[in-house]
Amino acid sequence: MRALGISVDPAAGSPKVHVATIEARPSSPRSVEAFTIKTTETEPGAQAVSLARLLQGRLPGLSFDAAAIKTAGASPVARRNRATFQRAHAEGALLFVLHEVSDVRVEAKDAQGLATLAGKKKADLESAADAAAEGLSRKYRDAVYAALALLP
């Protein structure tokens, strides 16, 4: 079984989407593919649409049986900053594309929700993500985390 994991990094006003595909193996899951999608748009709505279209173009070349987006958790303090809106817009657009283009199980949850979905403690899933992301840049860790939540 292969799972696709996605995370959005709202870095410096230009969100980036990190995507990783993880394959379940008898010994331990391993990373199959990882890439980043970037946009040159500046307005949050246009950024979300651009990122969604770019992901839509990449999905047919990927093999996966389930997909998960690691969303931002609720902030303990209400915030109205631009990065929060950009990330939320992008996550929603990516979720739409996954539902429209693929015919697989799709989940969108924060870190704790993904850990609960996997039936593990958050710290255990984080450790497993670190191990499965070995050899990948640190920026893919959240995408790997999301994908691992769906593996048996």
**CA-CA distance, 74 to 98, in Å (whole number)?**
23
In angstroms and rounded to an integer, the radius of gyration of the C-alpha atoms of the chain is: 15
**CA-CA distance, 82 to 36, in Å (whole number)?**
21
pLDDT cut 90: percent of the chain above it:
76
Tell me what pLDDT residue 84 has: 77
**CA-CA distance, 141 to 89, in Å (whole number)?**
21
The residue among 120, 95, 99, 98 whose CA lies nearest residue 108 is 95
| Tokens 């840049």, residue located | 137
Superfamily of the domain at 2-148? Ribonuclease H-like superfamily/Ribonuclease H (3.30.420.10)
Residue 26 — pLDDT band, cuts 50, 70, 90?
Answer: confident
| Tokens 């594309």, residue located | 97
Tell me what pLDDT residue 103 has: 92
Locate the domains of the chain by residue range. 2-148
Selected residue with higher pLDDT from 125 and 152: 125
**CA-CA distance, 19 to 4, in Å (whole number)?**
7
pLDDT in tens, 109-122: 999 999 999 999 99
